[in-house]
């Protein structure tokens, strides 16, 4: 399995930030992991052109329909046409800001595959859910509802992002991360059999240069989904290097 260092720029980035991509590629010309950046949709085409296939580019959301009267939305085919090969789906910020539920995320993943995109499906508990001891149950429900039956290691990546760890500088303990990733792997195995071993399971939430290596050393952690530390080539490059060395 090729591990995956994925960056989510969220609602950050203008054309003036594209030199970060050039700098990242120059500093890490042949990493031994896959590298992906997901900029805002306005930058997908320009970033894909800048990256010239040296790193992958992805979207941060897509509509479940291929086209039609959906003002402001973007289809998976449009992302693909602009040069994307991945799309993040069901990020907790979309679940919270836009009321996205598991059924919608599942429909989006199926739309992503039709367009030839790899779906990165995000799951994660809130702090209240963790405090109540519901973490594994919440994630199990999200996986069951958000991951379509057609998922495979080739078309789907799972990202575990505890909501309370996103942008806060806080992370679960290493055993807590390992516990969740082992549980996700077990649930995928129960559903998809031997292919489950090939699904890439990303951890996301306050991944930094300082904690990347210890997180990447955990079993069933096959990469990261990085927000704030993906915006600068120097910060993200250090995480790429840590994953390459893992």
Footprint on this chain of ligand 13P (rule: CB under 6 A)? 8, 91, 161, 166-167, 204-207, 225-229
Question: Closest separation between CB of residue 91 and ligand 13P, Å?
Answer: 6
Least Cα distance to 76 among 92, 50, 58 occurs for 58
Q: Which is nearer to ligand 13P, 229 or 246 (CB)?
A: 229
Q: Which is nearer to ligand 13P, 36 or 226 (CB)?
A: 226
Q: How many other CB atoms are there within 10 angstroms of residue 71's CB atom?
A: 4
Least Cα distance to 223 among 1, 4, 55 occurs for 4
Catalytic residue among 20, 91, 93, 100: 91
Question: Closest separation between CB of residue 16 and ligand 13P, Å?
Answer: 20
Q: How many other CB atoms are there within 10 angstroms of residue 101's CB atom?
A: 12
Question: Closest separation between CB of residue 53 and ligand 13P, Å?
Answer: 23
The answer for residues whose C-beta is within 8 angstroms of residue 120's C-beta and 6 or more apart is 6, 58, 86, 87, 88, 89, 156, 157, 158, 159, 202, 225
Taking CB positions, which residue lies at the least distance from ligand 13P? Answer: 227
Is 179 among the catalytic positions? no
Catalytic residue among 93, 125, 129, 161: 161
Is 181 among the catalytic positions? no
Provide the annotated active-site residues: 91, 161
């Amino acid at each position: 399995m090729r591990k995956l260092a994925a960056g989510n720029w969220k609602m950050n980035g203008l054309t003036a930030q594209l030199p970060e991509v050039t700098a990242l590629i120059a500093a890490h010309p042949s990493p031994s992991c896959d590298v992906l950046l997901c900029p805002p949709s306005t930058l997908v085409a320009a970033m894909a052109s800048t990256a010239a296939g040296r790193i992958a580019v992805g979207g941060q959301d897509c509509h479940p329909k291929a086209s039609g009267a959906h003002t402001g939305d973007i289809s998976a085919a449009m992302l693909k046409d602009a040069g994307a090969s991945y799309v993040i789906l069901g990020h907790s910020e979309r679940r919270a800001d836009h009321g996205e539920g598991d059924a919608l995320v599942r429909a989006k993943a199926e739309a992503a595959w039709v367009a030839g995109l790899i779906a990165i499906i995000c799951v994660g508990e809130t702090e209240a859910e963790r405090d109540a001891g519901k973490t594994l149950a919440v994630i199990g429900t999200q996986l069951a509802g958000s991951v379509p039956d057609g998922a495979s290691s080739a078309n789907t990546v799972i990202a575990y992002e505890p909501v309370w760890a996103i942008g806060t500088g806080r992370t679960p303990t290493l055993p807590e991360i390992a516990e969740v990733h082992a549980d996700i792997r077990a649930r995928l195995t129960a559903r998809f059999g031997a292919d489950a071993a090939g699904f890439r399971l990303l951890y996301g939430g306050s991944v930094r240069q300082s904690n990347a290596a210890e997180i990447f050393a955990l079993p069933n952690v096959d990469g990261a989904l990085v927000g704030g530390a993906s915006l600068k080539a120097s910060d993200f490059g250090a995480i790429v290097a840590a994953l390459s060395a893992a």
